[in-house]
Every structure is written in C-alpha cells, then in structure tokens.
C-alpha cells in the first residue's frame, strides 16, 4: 500500500462554549471543511463529581441541512428532539442525527450520570448533506456500543467501524447519505497499522490523545487533526504512546457550495434565510421537554 502524505496539520484550539472549554481542529482559518466533514468538537475529558453541574447542558436549538453526530467515549447523555425522539447514550454509544429539512434538539448529561459522576468525553462531528438530501425528513439513530463491530488489527490494535465498511464483510451500523468512513482506532505503542481508504475519498485523522508517527517518520501529538492528500491508497500509522485513540474520517467529497449560518448548513444564502424563517414559523416542530430523564 502506498500511504498518503499529510497536506495540513490542524491543532485543536481551545474555545469556550457556554462556559465550557472544548477543542476544535475543524474548521480553522485555513480550512473551512474537509468535504464532507464540516466541524469537529472534542469535549472533555471532564471529571464530574456526583451531583455536580452538567458540563455540557446544550439546550434546545435547531438544525437544518447536515448530520450532527455525537460519539460518546465515556459518560452519559440524554437526547431529546422535536420529532419525539429520546435517546440515552453511555460509554461507547453513538448518536447519528440527520437534521434534513429541520429539527430542534437538546443534549444534556443524563440524570444517571449526574448522580453518579465520572468522566465525560466525546466528539461532536458535523457531516454535510448533498443538495439532493438537504431537505430529507429528519432521522435519529441511537447506536449502542454493542452493535458497533470491532475489527482486531496487528499487535493488539483494534478498530470500531461506526460508518462505512472494512473489507467486504464488515459494515458499520450507521445509516448514512453518501459514501463515508467513520472509524475509531485504538493503537498501542510501537504497533504499525495500514488502513486502506478509497483514493477518491478525502481523509483526515484526529488524535484524541497519545501520539503517532507517520509513514515519513514525523511524530504528531494529542489533539491534532491530520488532513491527507489524495496521493495514496490509505494511511500508515505507528503508535507513540501506551495507547493512542484515533478517529479516522473518510468520505467522497460532495463538491457543492457551502453556506452556513449558526446551526444551518445550506447551499445558498437564500436557503439560509428560508431556514431561519421556517424555524420562526414552527415548521421544524416544537420541542417539549416533558419526559423525565
């Protein structure tokens, strides 16, 4: 396998959101997207004492035109939305929501987690939708850790296939629009893995912690995103720490114009204005948080 070369090194900068510090490698001032991936937020790890306040507490807000995805590494979250869906995420679970024509949702720590305390950590990822899918009906997928296939790799490394396929026999449980790979890799020290990715997919890897050495021998540390050129058949990584957790993102680019404003991602300014109007008119539904956690 000919490994791809690194085009951009994107450190995850600390930013404050509602009094909580998160880390954001994408977008940056240099790169506004790695098509079809629009945004990555790494929250935590936060150590939460029993009874302490919710470190996230993301109240009701609308979305249109893309897919917000939450990969919860540890902790407990509760999702609630204007389509009547309620979901509870625990360690290793994934929430894949298609906002489509419009949805209102909230994400908060579950009562169970707030009561017992522990470590809260996860990734929120925004995946774009092609123009023909921008206005599909919203969809919510509550994917449990036990339903995500784990592929054993060399020397103790392993990879969870959330979306897309590994070889011809392993496919992730997430139902997606377009061609995507979302893989969660655990990479022990001095272990080398070669991960094939279609040559026409854009490719990025994000290091939650630990460190890796690239195929050229250059080391990269925690909270760094590597954006690769389309000049090889995949990526070769070697672990540089006792354990490095890597999120690999691959996808066939959409290639359409991207116009965003806050929680909306569309293809034109007119469509953004329509989204704001439709939200104000109640066309994205109504959020009623009457169910106890």
What residues contact 282, with CB distance under 8 A and at least 6 apart?
Answer: none
| Ranges of residues in the chain whose predicted pLDDT is under 50 | 291-293
Residue range of the domain that includes 159: 6-251
Residue 277 lies in a domain: no
Instruction: Give the integer Cα–Cα distance in Å for 159 and 151.
Output: 5
pLDDT at 62: 97
- Residue closest to 137 by CA, chosen among 100, 104, 191: 100
Pairing of strands 94-98, 66-74: antiparallel
Residue 293 lies in a domain: no
Residue 266 lies in a domain: no
Contact between residue 225 and residue 12 where contact means Cβ atoms under 8 Å apart = yes
pLDDT at 292: 46
In whole angstroms, how far apart are CA 182 and each of 63, 96, 213, 261?
21, 11, 21, 25
pLDDT, one tens digit per residue, over 220-256 is 999 999 999 999 999 999 999 999 999 999 999 999 9
Q: Retrieve residue 73's tokens.
A: 């590494």
Contact between residue 250 and residue 180 where contact means Cβ atoms under 8 Å apart = yes
3-state DSSP assignment of residue 98: strand
Residue 82 lies in a domain: yes
Residue 283 lies in a domain: no
pLDDT at 57: 82
Residue 288 lies in a domain: no
**Cα dihedral: 193, 199, 201, 202 (round 10):** 70
Instruction: Give the integer Cα–Cα distance in Å for 100 and 65.
Output: 5
How many domains are contained in the chain? 1
Residue 259 lies in a domain: no
pLDDT, one tens digit per residue, over 64-101 is 999 999 999 999 999 999 999 999 999 999 999 999 99
pLDDT at 217: 86
In whole angstroms, how far apart are CA 246 and each of 141, 145, 159, 221?
23, 17, 9, 11
Residue 37 lies in a domain: yes
**CATH number of the domain bearing residue 117:** 2.60.120.10
């Amino acid at each position: 396998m000919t490994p791809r070369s690194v085009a951009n090194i994107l450190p995850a900068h600390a930013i404050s959101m509602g009094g909580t510090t998160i880390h954001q490698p994408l977008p940056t001032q240099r790169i506004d997207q790695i098509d079809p991936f629009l945004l990555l937020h790494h929250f935590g790890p936060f150590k939460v004492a029993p009874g302490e306040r919710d470190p996230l507490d993301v109240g009701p807000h609308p979305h249109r035109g893309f897919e917000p995805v939450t990969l919860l590494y540890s902790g407990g979250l509760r999702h609630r939305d204007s389509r009547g869906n309620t979901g509870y995420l625990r360690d290793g679970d994934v929430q894949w929501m298609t906002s489509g024509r419009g949805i209102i949702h909230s994400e908060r720590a579950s009562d169970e987690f707030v009561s017992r305390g522990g470590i809260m950590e996860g990734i929120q990822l925004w995946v774009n939708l092609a123009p023909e899918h921008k206005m599909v009906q919203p969809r919510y997928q509550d994917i449990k850790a036990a339903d995500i296939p784990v592929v054993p790799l060399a020397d103790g490394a392993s990879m969870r296939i959330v979306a897309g396929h590994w070889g011809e026999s392993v496919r992730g449980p997430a139902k997606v629009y377009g061609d995507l790979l979302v893989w969660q890799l655990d990479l022990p020290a001095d272990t080398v893995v070669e991960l094939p990715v279609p040559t026409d997919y854009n490719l990025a890897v994000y290091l939650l912690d630990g460190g890796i050495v690239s195929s050229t021998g250059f080391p990269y540390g925690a909270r760094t995103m590597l954006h690769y050129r389309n000049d090889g058949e995949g990526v070769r990584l070697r672990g540089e720490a006792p354990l490095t957790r890597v999120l690999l993102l691959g996808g066939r680019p959409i290639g359409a114009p991207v116009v965003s404003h806050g929680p909306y991602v569309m293809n034109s300014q007119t469509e953004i204005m329509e989204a704001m109007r439709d939200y104000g008119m109640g066309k994205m539904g109504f959020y009623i948080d009457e169910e106890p956690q």
